[in-house]
Structure 1
Amino acid sequence: MNLWPANCTAVKIGKTTAGIVSKGECQSGQPGTLWIIRRELSGDLSRQYRFSTESHLEQAGKPAQWTQRVETINRFIGPCEDVARKAVPNSIKRPEGAWAILGFALVFVLQLMAFVGLIYATYRGMAWLSLRLGRRAYERAVVANITVDEAGAATIPVLATFTGVRGLPWWYAVASNNAKPLLVIEPGGIRFRVVCERERRYGEIECVDVRQGRGTVNLNFTFHGSLLNFTANLGAVPLAAHVLSLLPQSVPLSTRALAVKAISV
């Protein structure tokens, strides 16, 4: 409606009862002659639009001469799909993004729950297995399971063995063995295994102490001139009392060890 040739002067677009109308006055090649162009756009509620263009010549002192009239009727179907998609306001697009975020969050929560469930199942399974193996070991920690060979060496059914450091808390260990621990009371000394199998004569033993904790009854051996000590977890007081009774009278015992040994009397 606002596109005119270069030599035309357009009148401001006006409104009518049917639509809008525009008019332009253009200079022709002849002096005193104007080329008048009138455009009108009208439509109804069915989205059908009528566009008409008419033009005529006006000369001074002469009647107007119609030169051309064109009228077209168009029906508005709508913008192309890509244009319509681009024209959708952001407020309408937000729900789609919100659903995507919600879906991502739901998947993340489900994956997190599955991971936590796996960790919990692994923890419970390991705890159950450890408890079951520990229960079997505690069932063996009885005096009846001590074996004595022909040389008089008594193999004690210990639960675990440890190597500690003199002066540090008794529960601190630099090495431990609960897979294949060993404690043997021999006629001339003790034989044990934490990392590797070792022997100590009774004269090398400085003191034997008893330390108890939850589910543990430990015999702690310290040796003359050694920074490291040896600890055996027997798991039960009666077994610890019997092992202390197997040691010669020359082996020094702590007050706690003497109290436990008295149980076997």
Structure 2
Amino acid sequence: MRAVRFSEYGGPEVLRLADVPLPEPGEGQVRVAVRVAGVNPVDWKIRSGLFGGALERPRGLGQELAGVVDAVGPGVELSVGDEVFGWAIGGAYAEYALAGTVLPKPPGMSWQDAASLPVTGEAAVRGLRELAVVPPDVLLVHGASGAVGSLATQLAVHRGITVIGTASEQALSYVESLGATAVRYGPGLVERVRAVTPKVNAVFDTAGRGALADSVELTGSADRVLTIADPDAESHGVRFSGEATQTIEVLRELANTHEAGDLRIQHARSYRLDEVAEALRLSETGHARGKITIEVA
């Protein structure tokens, strides 16, 4: 089968499309014939060596996939032919990939949407869970037009939470379309938010644009602010959430919200499997304006 591999850290040029053996599913695993794989910033960060670790052999990339079950390991209730989405094991940028945590794909969900949900959707669900926001709370989402921020905004609105979302001037109308009140980020943020509401119960920072001090001022407590993007969290007494929880329950919540029509995904561009290097180049710019995906089949 064809799969993207790299043997050394570096830029996009270290990636190659190789012929590799078909992987065999182990206990609790399935092999998936990949239709679409999702691209995330963590992929180019791994490729560039930001997380370190020796490369003892060529390794794959890509954490989320959508496709058709091709083989089933022991202890799995799924069947060959089932359409699924979830997290890949060993790399989703391949014609076939192993997976341990997958859920049947709802019939009305596109392959592109399914491959776009696991990583960013998990981060959105996790942020809302850790902040424990409930109606009638007012939640401020930084980066509400981004991949994680837009999903967090929609999930919160679906739960009946009032959302204020920060974004650039160009993205304000998009944030409004998600059901939030949009506010431009940047200097004067506190005043603009207070012009909308006198009270913010919690802040979810998905952008990392240096808004933590303003966030603490708006909530009155660093305990009510959570970031997944700002490395200065500790200096502000703010929690940094970085550990993913890959569970069926997370996938099920995403699938149910999508089926209810309350989860819309903005897609940027799709690439072929032999164009993964270009896809990661776009991801690394931070200006994709939506989810990047890899069309495998």
Is TM > 0.5 for Structure 1 vs Structure 2? no
TM range (shorter): under 0.3
Q: Which has the higher contact order (CA 8 A, sep 6+)?
A: 2
In the superposition, the TM-score normalised over structure 2's length comes to: 0.19
Larger Rg: 1
In the superposition, the TM-score normalised over structure 1's length comes to: 0.20
Give the structure with the larger strand fraction. Answer: 1
